[in-house]
A and B are shown apart, each in its own frame.
Chain A
Amino acid sequence: KAGVTQTPRYLIKTRGQQVTLSCSPISGHRSVSWYQQTPGQGLQFLFEYFSETQRNKGNFPGRFSGRQFSNSRSEMNVSTLELGDSALYLCASSWGQATNEKLFFGSGTQLSVL
């Protein structure tokens, strides 16, 4: 069974640009959540989608958005990039709707903003 796939693996952008990251969950998983990982702030929750609906959102500005498609694949978008958006963005999937479920993480997309 394939794991969680995130593309691209690395990305370099400049300030002011926008970026789209992609996540393909494990087959059969319907929940996709996104996390930002930085050395200073650690791992922070961005948002979670289930059946194409955003159910939960972290404390990030509106420049960060996401969506989920009918096949459960998810994308997140960051507009008007800032230097502080440089981070590893991790996607995680799980089967259902319980908060005690194991999350399966992808290897992440390393975003560098210059």
Chain B
Amino acid sequence: AQSVTQLDSQVPVFEEAPVELRCNYSSSVSVYLFWYVQYPNQGLQLLLKYLSGSTLVKGINGFEAEFNKSQTSFHLRKPSVHISDTAEYFCAVSVRGSSNTGKLIFGQGTTLQVKP
């Protein structure tokens, strides 16, 4: 079975400061890795995904994440946050195979609070 652990439930940070949201996963098979963002009263939006290849993945809104296979981590980073980045962030994995289509296993989420 797969599981995802987001190590921080809340991360407060001041505007224009850097931020890192931590994610670790557990799986006995190869997985794809995702970060989604959820703004208040909205659905989830994909920030970035890691499928294969370069371990540094760049996404939308200036976010990037690094896949570390040995540490089974996929931490999300942004060098300078804005007030508009305040939202809940979810790390997720999916397993290869048509029987798993549409199925994402999510972490519990990290609330990013950007303060002026």
> Is the C-beta of A7 less than 8 angstroms from some C-beta in chain B?
no
Contact A45 B97 (CB under 8 A): no
Q: Which of B18-26, B61-69, B71-79, B106-114 makes up part of the contact surface?
A: B106-114
Q: List 7 A-B contacts (CB under 8 A).
A: A56-B103, A58-B103, A97-B101, A99-B94, A99-B102, A105-B45, A108-B43
Query: Please, which residues of chain B bring their CB within 8 A of the CB of A58?
Result: 103
Contact B43 A99 (CB under 8 A): no
Query: Please, which residues of chain A bring their CB within 8 A of the CB of B14?
Result: none
Contact A4 B43 (CB under 8 A): yes
Query: Complex Cα distance A58/B104, Å?
Result: 10
The residue from A33, A42, A98, A107 contacting B42, defined by CB atoms under 8 A apart = A107
Give the residue name and chain of the A residue nearest to B50 (CB).
A100
- Given the known inter-chain contacts A99-B32, A99-B95, A105-B43, please indicate yes or no for A92 contacting B102, CB distance below 8 A: yes
